[in-house]
Amino acid sequence: MNLRLGILDQSPIISGHTPARAVAETVKLAQAADALGYHRYWLAEHHAVAALADPCPEILLTRVASATTRIRVGTGGVLLPYYSALKVAEVFRMLEALFPGRIDLGLGRAPGGDLLTAQALSNGQYSAADRFAEQVQDLIGHLDDALPTDHPFARVKAMPAGPAAPPIWLLGSSDYSGALAAELGLRFAFAHFINPQGGELVARDYRARFCASARESAPHTIVCAFVICAETAAEAEKLASCVDLRRLHMAQGLNTPIPTLAQAEAQTYSERELAYIRSQRARTVIGDPSQVRERLLQLREQFEADELMILTITGDYASRLRSYELLAREFGLQ
């Protein structure tokens, strides 16, 4: 079927494995995604998180793009409040020069870790993304050499100069980024895997309010879902137990790697903990290939989305890869 599927990779560190192994598995999965027919491969930014290995997706992106041939590669996303808009523009102009027509620039405003880490990353001056909208506009101006003439940095040119710059996606799990993307005429990706409630209304509002820009003549949306797919529904449920335990650890403030299946199966839960785990299941699609396909198509319809993006984490790297292989076959990717 004519549907674009992408992958969001958080470079998970599974218990018993090193962060270096997690990064190597990201490259391996990207190569598989390229061969399987996935359209985009995005890398996430997180800081000081024991379960996630990538604090600098713009660097890992270079390795992934070098190891693949066809698939678009991007960030999901660069956490802009930490950085200079000019520096991000320079990095992505360089990436576009290295890999023409294959780079996506996804932007987020979340801290990507705890607030202490956020303060450390910003020399003690993290401001909870108060200037995000201004930064995005400055970044567009630097990327496109289109800063207003009265801008204090209007004479500064982002290098390497050239006619092309990557498309910009604003990422979000609430109405803020959708509204800003509509106002600025940018693409929008909604993180259903973070917030399973109300996203379809955000996406529809984005479409209704979209203002055409020099970058985009029409709205374009992605919905990103957390998916665990296996040969059978029972096997998928078993694999999901690792994520159940990981999410409980997060709620308890435990900074730990992704649990293995053995660790998850050995865990016992109180009724309160089970209730929490059940409450988190709404942001996960679990099942055999036909079940997952049906649910993803429902999400696409609810969001009126142009594309779907899939995030999969399990307690071992082989079953994560297998989940993506099964979906590629089920959706008829080539």
Asked if residue 146 is part of any domain, the answer here is yes
Q: What is the mean pLDDT of residues 220-241?
A: 98
Answer yes or no: are the C-beta atoms of 65 and 128 closer than 8 Å.
no
The distance of Cα 329 from the centroid of its chain, to the nearest Å, equals 22
Asked if residue 243 is part of any domain, the answer here is no
- pLDDT band at 53; cut points 50, 70, 90: very high
Average pLDDT for the chain: 96
In sign, the C-alpha dihedral spanning 177, 255, 308, 41 is: positive
pLDDT in tens, 141-185: 999 999 999 999 999 999 999 888 999 999 999 999 999 999 999
Q: What is the mean pLDDT of residues 108-113?
A: 93
Contacts 24+ apart (CB under 8 A), 244-252: 244/277, 244/280, 246/51, 246/313, 247/276, 247/277, 247/280, 248/273, 248/276, 248/277, 251/276
**What range defines the domain where residue 29 resides?**
4-234+284-330
Asked if residue 257 is part of any domain, the answer here is no
pLDDT in tens, 278-331: 999 999 999 999 999 999 999 999 999 999 999 999 999 999 999 999 999 999
pLDDT recorded at residue 125? 81
- pLDDT band at 2; cut points 50, 70, 90: confident
SS3 content of the chain, % helix, strand, coil (to 5): 45, 15, 40
Asked if residue 57 is part of any domain, the answer here is yes
Count of the separate structural domains present in the chain: 1
The tokens for 321 are: 């890869």
Q: What is the mean pLDDT of residues 73-90?
A: 96
Q: What is the mean pLDDT of residues 209-227?
A: 98
pLDDT exceeds cutoff 70 at 128 = no
Asked if residue 89 is part of any domain, the answer here is yes
Q: What is the mean pLDDT of residues 64-87?
A: 97
- pLDDT band at 89; cut points 50, 70, 90: very high
Residue with token string 């997690």: 22
pLDDT in tens, 236-278: 999 999 999 999 999 999 999 999 999 999 999 999 999 999 9
- pLDDT band at 1; cut points 50, 70, 90: low
Asked if residue 45 is part of any domain, the answer here is yes
Domain of 192, CATH number, reads: 3.20.20.30
Asked if residue 95 is part of any domain, the answer here is yes
pLDDT recorded at residue 126? 80
Asked if residue 240 is part of any domain, the answer here is no
Q: What are phi and psi of 301, to 5 degrees?
A: -70, -45
